[in-house]
Amino acid sequence: MDYVSTRGSAQRQDFRSVTLAGLASDGGLYVPREWPQFSADEIAAMAGLPYAELAAKVMQPFVGDCLTPERLLELTTKAYGRFAHKAVTPLTQFDEKQWLLELFHGPTLAFKDVALQLLGLLFEEFLTGSDQHLTIVGATSGDTGSAAIDAVAGREKIDIFMLHPKGRVSEVQRRQMTSVIAPNVHNIALTDASFDDAQAMVKRMFADTDMTGRFRITAVNSINWARLMAQVVYYFAAAIQLGAPNRKVAFSVPTGNFGDVFAGYVAAKMGLPVEKLIVATNVNDILHRALSTGDYSAHGVTPTEAPSMDIQVSSNFERLLFDAGGRDGAALAEQMKGFEASKAMQLTNAQREGAAALFTSMRADADEMHAAMRWAYENCGKVIDPHTAIGLHAALSADLPADVPVVTLATADAAKFAPAVESAIGVSPTLPPRIADLMDREEACTDLPGTYEAVASFVADNATESPAAA
């Protein structure tokens, strides 16, 4: 399988290259040249497969010749063997229409583990035998940092540098990062810096030719195609359990950067019978505005109890604009250039119509989020986290045919957001046994002043030099 850039001018690449590269050289995002197809019979034959086997089957067409089917299955077996639930992503029931897909049984209690555990193994696989070394640099306000660190800790030929603003992440979130002690893991707490400052330093490093000339610096955010690919699998897993290919299913997805819900779009393009994808946002609702009115314009960010959805712009939305808008990379490059300058753009008619075929959207404020947490607890005895509650609110309010089941994606374990959950339902969720000793674990972290020079020289002193991209 070849991959093309959404901005049309980067060279086509194979799966190995797009995995190691992240962003395309023209600033666009990689998408497969065409969507692989599964027939109804092929989908029916997937029923009952263990998760790791289903994953290897669904992902093989994207991987192409870069891994044999046997090797891919070894990697999925290893990645998903670390999950605390045998089913990996168990599907549970609220009532005859409403379902919950639990994506939080990985090592760091958030759905990002599903993709990042595999990505860590893919990096290692593709670097083995080469003379290259990856330097992952990121800034985190919480979930991505811990999932990425856990996924690459101890892996050969990879160093990870994760910046967080000192004292501005929750204690659970900090400890999930700093208690992973391995020679290739470098946690950096920036004194006198905000999350935005940290993010700006990472961006500056990616553009700093002194750094990029010596180190192969890469990102692990959801612009990486391999992350989206891994998320396609659980849409198949859930829909097949609910009767696909003979029955349509809808999904409600708590959305930030549009990675998770775009994976649902890919599943539909591959032949999975999806009735609708509900894009659930909190009050940071750029996607809801774009999908309902065509106006994609960035406003400031309002902090909420669902911080992983507190976004100003949604990087993966570009993939939908590309595919739904007719795959015209040159036109999209122009459109995105305009957006980068003015922070606002109108979707074209083709983009709006292409998106409306599968997507609908809904926005939840704090009261609606709290009400959904109470609904789940009082009616079904289920404790859900604030992000999941936004998805559930949208699932309960959506206008869908009566016979279509709706699956809400549960993106985090409630214990990650215990204070918000307790204030909504009066019950404080406890950490699951596998990380119950988190508060007693040893921590390793370097404090640095919040300046670019301090961070760049720390990275340069601790990373391994690597020849430029292959």
Ligand X SMILES: *Cc1c(COP(=O)(O)O)cnc(C)c1O
Query: Shortest approach of ligand X to residue 10 CB, angstroms?
Result: 23
264 Cβ contact list (under 8 Å, min separation 6) = 232, 235, 251, 253, 274, 277
> In terms of CB distance, is 106 or 245 closer to ligand X?
106
Q: Give the sign of the dihedral formed by CA 302, CA 304, CA 307, CA 308.
A: negative
> In terms of CB distance, is 122 or 309 closer to ligand X?
309
Find the part of the chain contacting ligand X (CB under 6 A) among 5-13, 165-173, 191-199, 248-256: 248-256
Query: Shortest approach of ligand X to residue 256 CB, angstroms?
Result: 3
> In terms of CB distance, is 408 or 466 closer to ligand X?
408
Please return the burial class of 61, using the count of CB atoms within 10 Å of its CB with bins 0-12, 13-18 and 19+: middle
Q: Does 308 bind ligand X (CB under 6 A)?
A: yes
- Assess contact for 353 and 46: CB atoms under 8 A: no
> In terms of CB distance, is 271 or 391 closer to ligand X?
391
Q: Does 258 bind ligand X (CB under 6 A)?
A: yes
> In terms of CB distance, is 127 or 313 closer to ligand X?
313
Catalytic site residue 203?
no
Find the part of the chain contacting ligand X (CB under 6 A) among 59-67, 84-92, 234-242, 255-263: 255-263
Task: Tell me phi and psi for residue 296, to 5 degrees.
Answer: -105, 90
Query: Shortest approach of ligand X to residue 414 CB, angstroms?
Result: 11
Find the part of the chain contacting ligand X (CB under 6 A) among 155-163, 253-261, 341-349, 451-459: 253-261
Q: x-or-dash pattern for ligand X, window 195-234, by CB under 6 A? A: ---------------------------x------------
- Candidates 155, 216, 288, 387; binder of ligand X (CB under 6 A) is 387
Catalytic annotation, pick one of 57, 78, 112, 276: 112
Q: Does 151 bind ligand X (CB under 6 A)?
A: no
| CA gyration radius, the chain | 21
For the stretch 62-70, contacts whose Cβ atoms lie closer than 8 Å and that sit 24 or more positions apart, written own/partner, are 62/1, 62/15, 62/32, 62/36, 62/225, 62/229, 63/1, 63/15, 64/1, 64/14, 64/15, 65/14, 66/14, 66/15, 66/16, 66/126, 67/125
Query: Shortest approach of ligand X to residue 316 CB, angstroms?
Result: 7
Of 403-462, binders to ligand X (CB under 6 A) are 411-412
The per-residue b/e assignment along 90-126, b for 16 or more CB within 10 angstroms, e otherwise, is: bbeebeeebbbbbbbbbbbbbbbbbbbbbbbbbbbbb
Q: Which residues are catalytic?
A: 112
Residues at the site binding ligand X, with contacts judged by CB under 6 A? 110, 112, 143, 222, 254-260, 308-309, 387, 411-412
